[in-house]
Structure 1
Amino acid sequence: MSRVSIKTRDDLPEALRPLWDKMTTYGAFENQAGVMAHRLPIFKHMWSLLVDLAQDGNLSKRHLELALVTVSLLNKCDYCVSHHAPKLAVQGVSEEGAARLVDYKDHPELDELDKLVVEYSIAVTNNWNKTRDEIFARLGAHFSEAQIVELTWRIALCGAFNRFNDILQLEVEQGVPQSQAAE
């Protein structure tokens, strides 16, 4: 049970209700959004950012979801894994494959670029202060600087969401199956 009450769309000021509606197109994140709604600037800016990036992101959905699931596995965030592993399945990585992303080196469902995204996600999450220039040279061979910035931001932001969700004990919304990868 969440440590903070969960607000609903009806608890928001009228001006923010369209953002709630846009948020629901991103996924079933009503519990997270409902907790954020206790502080309207957090709700407004986080969800505006997320829906804008979903509409106008410069990363492939596959690479984004690989990064988000990897970070969430590393941080053991069941909430985020349960939400993002199904999105990764749509991108061609099975739920079993999602569960073992951190063992990416011999992962049969990942190509070399996928493996690089997972490796970078691990670096940003666990080794940000020890990451060598070599990985950026490899990233630069496949991604623009804008894509590297977005990928890095999304990985770091996911880590923040993992902590937010877990410390406040957000439950996965009804209708969102608990991911096997999260177990």
Structure 2
Amino acid sequence: MTRIPPLSDQEMTADARASHAALGAYGPFDNWARVAAYCPPVLNHVTGMLTTLREQENLPRRALELAMVTVSKLNACDYCVSHHTPLLSVAGLSPEGASRLPDVEDHPELDACDKAVVRYAEAVTIRSGRMKDAEVADLREWFTDAQIVELTWRIALCGAFNRFNDALQIQIEPEVEPVSA
């Protein structure tokens, strides 16, 4: 049960309702948005940032979803794993392949770039202050510096989402198939 009851449309500010609608077009995050609406700047800014990042298409979708599922599995966030695992299927990874993450050794569905993304997501999540320069440099074979900055931000942001969702026990929306972390 969600620790903070989701707001109804009538209980939201006009700005929060607009952001809620925009986030609804982004993905099935109704429960998250209705709790975040208690603090409209959070909902407004997160919605704006996510929609802008998606529109600019700077980062390949597969890399993004590999990172999101990896971080969410490491943090055991069922909400985020459930929302992002199906997007990995769209990006070409089977549900069985997604279930193996973050294990990349001998993973038959991951190429060298995919493995570098998963390893990087794990490093940022578990030991960001102790990473080696080579871990960032390794990504340059596939990504620009701008893409690495976005990837790093999205990994860190996913960790924040994981903590927010778990601390407040945000419920998975009924239209989303639950996937255990």
Distance of aligned partners of 1:99 and 1:22 in 2 relative to their CA distance in 1, 3 Å threshold: same
Aligned to 1:35: 35
Q: Deviations over 1:154-182 (max 9, x none)?
A: 00000000000001111100111112xx2
Unaligned runs of 5+ in 2: none
Aligned to 1:54: 54
Cα distance in 2 between the residues matched to 1:9 and 1:158:
26
The percent of aligned pairs where both chains have the same amino acid is 49
Q: Deviations over 1:32-57 (max 9, x none)?
A: 11110001111111111111111113
Distance of aligned partners of 1:8 and 1:65 in 2 relative to their CA distance in 1, 3 Å threshold: farther
**1:136 and 2:156 are equivalent in the alignment:** no
The residue type equivalent to 1:18 in the other structure is A
Cα distance in 2 between the residues matched to 1:46 and 1:8:
19
**1:13 and 2:13 are equivalent in the alignment:** yes
* Residue aligned with 1:106, SS: coil
Shift >6 Å, 4+ stretches? none
Q: Deviations over 1:4-48 (max 9, x none)?
A: 010144433334433222211221101111110001111111111
**1:151 and 2:148 are equivalent in the alignment:** no
Determine if contact 1:8/1:30 at 8 Å carries over to the other structure: no
Query: CA-atom RMSD, angstroms?
Result: 1.2
Aligned to 2:76: 76
* Residue aligned with 1:4, SS: coil
TM-score normalised by length of structure 1: 0.94
* Residue aligned with 1:176, SS: coil
The count of residues paired between Structure 1 and Structure 2 equals 181
More off after superposition, 20-29 vs 106-115: 20-29
CA-CA distance at 1:63 after TM superposition: 0.4
Cα distance in 1 between the residues matched to 2:121 and 2:21:
30
